[in-house]
Chains A and B, each alone.
Chain A
Amino acid sequence: MSTDTRVRARGAFRWRPDQQWEAYLFLVPSFLGFFVFVVLAVLMSLGISFSDWGLTGWKAFVGLRNYQALLRDPVFWQTASNTVFYIVTIVPLQLLIGLAMALALNQAIRGRIFYRLVYFMPVVTTIVAGAIVFRLLLSTNGPLNELLGNAAGLLGIPFSAPNWLGSSDYSKWAVVILTLWKNAGFTMVVYLAALQGVPQELYDAANTDGAGPWQRFWNVTLPLISPTTFFLLVLQLIGAFQLFTEPFVMTRGGPANSSLSVVQYIYLTAFRDIRMDKASAMAWFLFIFIFAFTLLQNRLQQRWVYYESE
């Protein structure tokens, strides 16, 4: 947001005193929920993060002790690095796969409705069930390894079956695979919607200028759907930072904490180790990170996101 746009935005915003109370009434039900189940809850947890807090509640105020303990905890740093791995793999892969699926389905092709339905099915599936199936598919002598082995055999490449769930080299990938399966359909649907919003006139104009398919994609499609890309990027980054259910049901974070995400560690710290205080501190640490990241993205967006209105 440059100073320029901010001034413009403020200029455009006219306060209407007669709408003040009306607006509050519209907001009352929403704000009530927001206040009780978000604001209040967050303030409580902030308080807990500065306290010695056991099962039975508050014991003492301890200042930054929980945060300091966190910085010295090697497991926390390991989970942080695991989470970074999830972010740099899941987010771009999901965007790419989702975009590819959307581009394909945006063509006049037989069975579009069917494909759209099938690709989105995992999104509405209970993740517990999905994970159990994937544990079966990814087991050491399971179907995926068999497939890979056969493919490698055909190509004459030496192949040793990866232990997807049992080795710390691959466990994160098992989580990534499950997550992509589960969520790529969502990205696809959102991209599909964006693609259908690109005016045909622009493609016609590009054709008249003699642009090939690649140029059309690069110069027309990509810029025009960049707001959607930005939206998805923000959403998925936040999601990837908070990844919990997927590793929780897929690998339980193992082996050797190699697939443990930060949020999962927060959960374990709170409910296995009964250290609500340390868990709250960790949650706040994570929040600060996500917040900073989102701000940064907001700054960067004007470099590559194209807005029609500007």
Chain B
Amino acid sequence: MSQNSAVQPQQQLRLPARLALQVALLLGALLMLTPFLVMLVVSLLPTQAFLARDFAPSGFSLANYFATFEQVPFLRYYLNSTIVTVSVTLLQILIASLAAFAFARLRFRGRETLFLFYLATLMIPFPVTLIPNFLIVKSLGWYDTLWALIVPSLFSVFSTFLLRQYYRGIPIDLDEAARMDGASSLRIWAQVIVPLSGPVLATLAIFVFQGTWNEFLWPLVATTSENMRTIPVGLAAFVGQYSTAWGQLMAGSVIALLPVLIIYVLGQNWFVKGITLSGMGGR
């Protein structure tokens, strides 16, 4: 694969075709964006106006946003989500990278078998492990702590798999040359492989970040006190038994959405390149 072609679109289209494509893309963008617009509008409306289907912009206010912060310790949720998401993203990728290096570049006995085991667990439905994991976390004394939210998420088959695919694509000659120069495996990992994997790491970081940020069921089960809640769990508190505070739910959703969107916008250039280079689909 030549480096050039990797970033260049294939060909200029003719004008009518370009126009038709533009229209189709715009329509698609509208479809994708409508729910966000609705979310924003509802978050600005008093619940009563929303239920009466009165969407006049004159009724817009930030009251729902203030209420969100007043009624529940939303800042605390935000802090928890940030701590958990940042730790999980960094450490999960570190751990997966080390393992992927071993699977892709080191020759040890049992490698293929162990990797197959790893892969097989990708298919295990998550309810299988929910209750056992709760019991495990409990017996480790981590129940209702941030440890319970962080540690079980540090290990990911998917991340390991993705990085292994990528590492396998890097020419083995690089390792051999470095070994000739007396480099250790750790050094090869740190100075050869990791520097070559910037985009794929960025890609993975975005995946892990958004997955952890939006995770719902596990934080729900693994914590109990209000101070340990993450944003999605906190949002659920707005959905009452009898009534739903739509406006606040949407305001909370908008607030929850912002960080991931910002990170995605900032990292998206790396992102596509990273997926390209990871050679998803096995080389």
Binding site for B on A (CB under 8 A): 13-16, 19-20, 22-24, 26-27, 29-34, 36-42, 44-45, 48, 101, 104-130, 132-134, 136-137, 181, 185, 189-190, 192-201, 203, 225-232, 238, 241-242, 244-245, 262-263, 266-267, 270, 276, 279-280, 283-284, 286-287, 290-291, 294, 307-309
Question: Nearest Cβ distance between residue B213 and chain A, in whole angstroms?
Answer: 8
Q: How large is the interface on B (under 10, 10 to 19, 20 to 34, 35 or more residues)?
A: 35 or more
* Contact assessment for B127 and A263 in the assembled complex, using a CB-CB cutoff below 8 Å: yes
Q: Give the chain B neighbours of A196 by CB distance below 8 A.
A: 5-9, 272, 276
Q: List 12 A-B contacts (CB under 8 A).
A: A13-B107, A27-B102, A40-B132, A44-B135, A45-B132, A111-B22, A129-B250, A133-B250, A137-B38, A242-B126, A244-B126, A266-B125
Bound CA–CA A44/B276 (angstroms): 39
Q: Which residues of chain A have C-beta atoms less than 8 A from B12's C-beta?
A: 108
Cβ-closest chain B residue relative to A267: B127
B77 within 8 A of A: no
Q: Report which of A14, A133, A189, A262 forms a contact with B35, defined as CB distance below 8 A.
A: A133
Contacts of B25 in A (CB 8 A): 104-105, 109, 111, 115
Q: Report whether A40 and B136 are in contact in the complex, using a CB–CB cutoff of 8 Å.
A: yes
| A30 near B106: Cβ-Cβ < 8 Å | no
A37 touching B281 in the complex, CB below 8 Å, given contacts A14-B107, A101-B28, A126-B235: no
Judging by beta carbons under 8 Å apart, are A129 and B249 in contact?
Answer: yes
In the complex, whether B18 has a CB less than 8 A from a CB of chain A is yes
Known: A30-B99, A192-B272, A193-B280. Is A128-B235 also a contact (CB below 8 A)?
yes
Residue contact A290 to B155, C-beta cutoff 8 Å: no
CB contacts (< 8 Å) of A30 on chain B: these are 95-96, 98-99, 155, 160
Is A203 in contact with B10, judged by CB distance below 8 angstroms?
yes
How many residue-residue contacts, CB under 8 A, span A and B?
Answer: 299
* Residue among A19, A36, A41, A48 making CB contact with B108, cutoff 8 Å: A19
The verdict on A189 contacting B36 (CB below 8 Å), with A109-B25, A227-B281 known, is no
Interface of A is mostly: helix
Q: How far is the CB of B136 from chain A (nearest CB, A)?
A: 6
Contact B106 A266 (CB under 8 A): no
- The complex places the Cα of A230 from the Cα of B165 at a distance, in Å, of 14
User: Which residues of A lie under 8 Å from residue B58 when comparing CB positions?
Assistant: none
B56 within 8 A of A: no
Q: B180 near A: Cβ within 8 Å?
A: no
Closest Cβ–Cβ distance, residue A216 to chain B (whole Å): 9
Contact present for B35 and A134 (CB under 8 Å):
yes
Which A residues are CB-close (under 8 A) to B253?
Answer: 125-126, 128-129, 132
Whole-angstrom distance between the Cβ of A305 and the nearest chain B Cβ: 8
Residue of A nearest to B91 (CB): A29
Q: Are A181 and B35 in contact (CB under 8 A)?
A: yes
B residues 95-139 in Cβ contact with A at 8 Å:
95-96, 98-99, 101-102, 106-109, 111-112, 114, 118, 120-133, 135-136
CB within 8 Å of A: which B15-64 residues: 18, 21-22, 24-25, 28-29, 31-36, 38-39, 42
CB of B256 closer than 8 Å to a CB of A: yes
Q: Closest A-chain residue to B273, C-beta based?
A: A193
The yes or no answer to B11 lying at the interface (CB within 8 A) is yes
Complex alpha-carbon distance, A185 and B29, angstroms: 11
Q: How far is the CB of B81 from chain A (nearest CB, A)?
A: 11
The distance from the CB of A53 to the nearest CB of chain B, in whole angstroms, is 9
Q: Please, which residue of chain B has its CB at the minimum distance from the CB of A203?
A: B10
Q: Give Cα A117 to B272, complex, Å.
A: 11
CA distance A110 to B101 in the complex (A): 40
Q: Is the CB of A132 within 8 A of B96?
A: no
Cβ-neighbour of B185 out of A19, A185, A201, A270 (below 8 A): A19
Name B272's contact: one of A121, A126, A193, A203 (CB within 8 Å). A193
| A185 CA to B74 CA, complexed, in Å | 29
Are B133 and A37 in touch, CB under 8 angstroms? yes
A124 with B264: CB separation less than 8 A: yes
B75 lies within 8 A of chain A by Cβ: no
> Chain A's nearest CB lies how many Å from the CB of B75?
18
Interchain CA distance A101-B39 in the complex, whole Å: 24
Most buried by B among A26, A192, A279, A283: A26
Contacts A23-B108, A38-B155, A128-B216 hold; do A116 and B129 have CB atoms under 8 A apart?
A: no
**Separation of A280 and B34 alpha carbons in the complex (Å):** 40
Is B260 in contact with chain A by the CB < 8 A criterion? yes
Q: What CA separation (Å) do A25 and B235 show in the bound complex?
A: 41
